[in-house]
Amino acid sequence: MQSLKAYVITLALNSISITASQNCIASAKSNTKLAPVMTVNAVTADEAQPMLKQEKLKWTYPSSGSRLDIATGLKLSAYPTVNLNARIACALSHYFLWQVSVDSKEPILILEHDAFFIKNPPIEEILDSKYGCIGLNSPIGATRRASIYDAHVKNAKTSGKKFIRPPIVDKYMIPQGLAGNSAYIIKPRFAKSAIAAVKEHGVWPNDALLNQQMFSDLGITTTYYTKVQRTRSTTSS
């Protein structure tokens, strides 16, 4: 069995994040054969702007309303966000883990603190799939139009498919991808492409950037291995 490093993004001084992260790690111990899940400090809202400057990146996603992104043909709509820097910080936390995958030349499992394992993911089988980034998460409580998303996945599973591209549940011009980005495996080649997309298009919320319109090798498992804990959002609130 191939080993896989797993990282859970955690806000070091936030009690909600710390508790959720501990629950995530405990669920991995109880329900999987993964190596120990390691915590990694999330970028904080206070660090967001300095980090953007350090990395020579720009936040280009709308903070209010919506706009058509000419380069991609996608309609970008603002997320409900009290502190925009918290949203930027979340995106950067994922971005820096993509760099870990590229630098190590190894696939990694990226978890947000609200992920909770319900089954043991077959790592070798997932890594052998054709997809470069593979979501493991149930859509329920994790993404918009979750029931429609879930129905597409269940239909695919019934027909014998173990992996599919994320379903389209809305107008095609709206970015659509993983069922939230709480749990996904990313391979180095995909991580490199994701980083290149950030440098080309700017920093977006990570679940908007990792969309199936821009990435043909974005996939999901038709068996859900994680679900969200439904903790209070540390990004939107």
What local confidence, expressed as pLDDT, does residue 1 receive? Answer: 43
Burial 165-182 (b: 16+ CB within 10 A, else e): bbbebeeeebbbbbbbbb
pLDDT in tens, 54-102: 999 999 999 999 999 999 999 999 998 889 999 999 999 999 999 999 9
Confidence label for 2 from pLDDT (cuts 50, 70 and 90): low
What local confidence, expressed as pLDDT, does residue 236 receive? Answer: 59
What local confidence, expressed as pLDDT, does residue 55 receive? Answer: 97
Q: Who wins on pLDDT, 144 or 231?
A: 144
* Structure token pair of residue 124: 């070798």
Q: Which residue has the tokens 């379903």?
A: 167
Mean pLDDT, range 112-121, rounded to an integer:
98
Q: What is the mean pLDDT of the chain?
A: 95
Q: Who wins on pLDDT, 35 or 46?
A: 46
Residue 3 reports pLDDT greater than 80: no
Mean pLDDT, range 39-68, rounded to an integer:
97
pLDDT in tens, 177-217: 999 899 999 999 999 999 999 999 999 999 999 999 999 99
> Which 8-state DSSP code applies to residue 133?
E
> Which amino acid does the sequence have at 126?
I
Class (C level, CATH) for 5-228: alpha beta
Yes or no: say if 121 and 221 are a contact pair by the CB < 8 Å rule.
yes
Going from N- to C-terminal start, the domains of the chain cover 5-228
pTM across the whole model: 0.95
Residue 168 reports pLDDT greater than 90: yes
